[in-house]
Structure formats: structure tokens, C-alpha cells
Amino acid sequence: MKKIKGILFVLCLSLISLILSSLFAPYFKLEALTIGIVLGIIFINNFKLNDSYKAGIQFCQKKLLKVGIVLLGFKMSAEGIKVLGVKSIVLVVFYIISAIILSLFLGKQLKLRKKTALLIGLGSSICGASAVVALSDSIKAETEDTALAVSVVSLLGAIGVLLYTFIFQLGQIEVVDYGMWSGLSLHGVAHAIAAAGAGGPIAKEVGTMIKLIRVLMLVPVSLVLSKTFKSDNERAKMPKYVLGFCIASVFGILNILPKELIDSLLFVSDKLILMAMTGLGLSVEFKLIKSQAKRSIIMGSILFGILSLCSLVIIKII
């Protein structure tokens, strides 16, 4: 019962973010996730929140996010993986490894905390804010590291949707290439699908499948990170939510559940992740992260610029 107040408060902010996203839609695409984080940040930095809300907010941040990621696995499909082939999987793996290495290098050059830089790289290369929060436990990151990374990848992902849509309208990129580019280089699942959708149904399908292969990389990446950051007396193990994601992916690939059920589960996943991101926004206190915020945005922007340009060149070559 002590969590109810915090959960209901997060739910209210999440509903407001959905309403604002719908109101903004005719003018520009601004994801509800991004709005939810911003609302949380604005509130916590301008108003005092009673301690009785904290348990519920933390529950949304940690538990609801993991359930949302598990349910996201149902979006996987055998047809999509078969169409994309081994070449696409290799491309995704190469992209993620390159992004992680580059993020650590840029973070070091900008004197950013190592775990903040790593989380920005993970969010940029796998599935945006969801990956940041999901993998923060694997590297034992502080709340400030997670909050900074989530804010950066959410902001840049939203900007990326607008930028990619504009570039496609110039007519210089083929539909399939554009779908691959959106799916490979944009941050979150919603970002990639929204941008790819501007290229039509074929681009959207290709972009979605590429993006979901990236999401699937949560499994090996979480295992590697858990082993790398484990204590001397601690055994590396696969997080339970990642195992759940694998099981859900199997159901999605086998296509044995009714489409209506899958659609309902994905709807729930979307809303749980929104609540988790909103809850995370309520943990972002500027006085704690001010010294790192500017460098984080600069680093994330440089990383996004390099990865976006290089991935487009590679897609055109192959």
C-alpha cells in the first residue's frame, strides 16, 4: 500500500504526457516518453515531493520497466528476421560494438564519468532509454548516471525523428535504405519506427525488424556487462527480465499467440515503459548532475552524428 501514492502520481504524469504528445502531433513529433521524462524533471526540480511517494516512484523505475521490456519481446517475428538475413545481424552487432567503443573514447576525451558515457553508448546503439535503464543494473551505475543517459538519448532520439523525416523528404535516399538507416541508427524503438514510417510501409517494416534485432542484443550485452562489472566474489548471471524477454521473443518468432493478444501485450509494454521513464525523470535533480549535463549532451550529439553518418554510408555500400 505504501507504493500506491507514488504509482498513481507517476500514472497521472504519464497520462498528461500522452495527452500533450497527441496535442503536439499535428505540428511536430514529440514522443510521450520524452515528454514524461521532461515533466518529471520539471516537477522534481521545482516542487518538493513528500517522501511517501518515493517507494512507488522507485517501483515504476525498476519493476515496471523490466516487465515492459519482457513484453517487448513479443514483437519479434520469424518473417522479419528471415527477410533481413545474416548480413543485417552482422551489421547490427558491428554497429553496437563500434558505438560502445566510441562512446567510451568520447567520454574519456570529455572527462565524463565512465558509466555515464557507457550508458549513453548503450542507449544509442540498442534501444534508447529502455536499454539505459535495463542495463544500468548490469554495470552497477548510479542513479545520476542513468538519469543523464536517459535524458540525452531521449532528447537526441526525438530530434533524430524530425531530422530523418526531413532528410527523406529531400528524395535522395531509397525507401529500403532509409528503413534500414532509421532502424539501425535511431535510439529508441519508438524513434526508429516513427522515422521509418515516414518512408512508407516498406521502410517501416524494414526499420522495425532491424530495430528489433538491436533490441534482441540486450541478451548478450547484458551477459557481457554483468561479467565485466561483477565483484570478485560474485557470479555473473543473466538478469531475470532478459530471460523473460528471450522467452517472449520465442513466442513472437513462433507466432503461436493470437494477434489481438500480442497487440494488447505490446500496448501494455508501451505504457509500462512510459511510466518507468516518467518515474526516472522524477529522480533527475539538476543540483546533482549539473556538472556533467553539458558534457553528456555534447558527447551524445557527437556520437549520434558519427554513427548516423557512418551507418548511412555503410548501408549504401552494401
Hey, what amino acid is at 98?
Answer: S
Enter the pTM of the model. 0.73
> DSSP string of 135-195?
HHTTTT--HHHHHHHHHHHHHHHHHHHHHHHHHHHTT-S-HHHHHHHHHHHSSSHHHHHHH
| Residue 274, C-alpha cell as written in the block | 512510459
Please give the C-alpha separations between residue 179 and each of 129, 176, 200, 254, 286, in angstroms, as whole numbers: 21, 5, 9, 24, 37
Provide block-wise average pLDDT over 10 residues at a time, the chain (318 residues). Answer: 86 92 76 77 84 86 81 74 73 92 94 92 88 83 84 82 85 88 87 80 81 83 83 60 81 87 90 83 67 85 95 87
pLDDT in tens, 164-180: 888 988 878 888 899 99
In 3-state terms the chain splits into helix, strand, coil percentages (rounded to 5) of 80, 0, 20
**What is the pLDDT at residue 39?**
87
Mutual angle of helices 65-72 and 240-254, in 10-degree steps: 30
How many CB atoms lie under 10 A from the CB of residue 272? 22
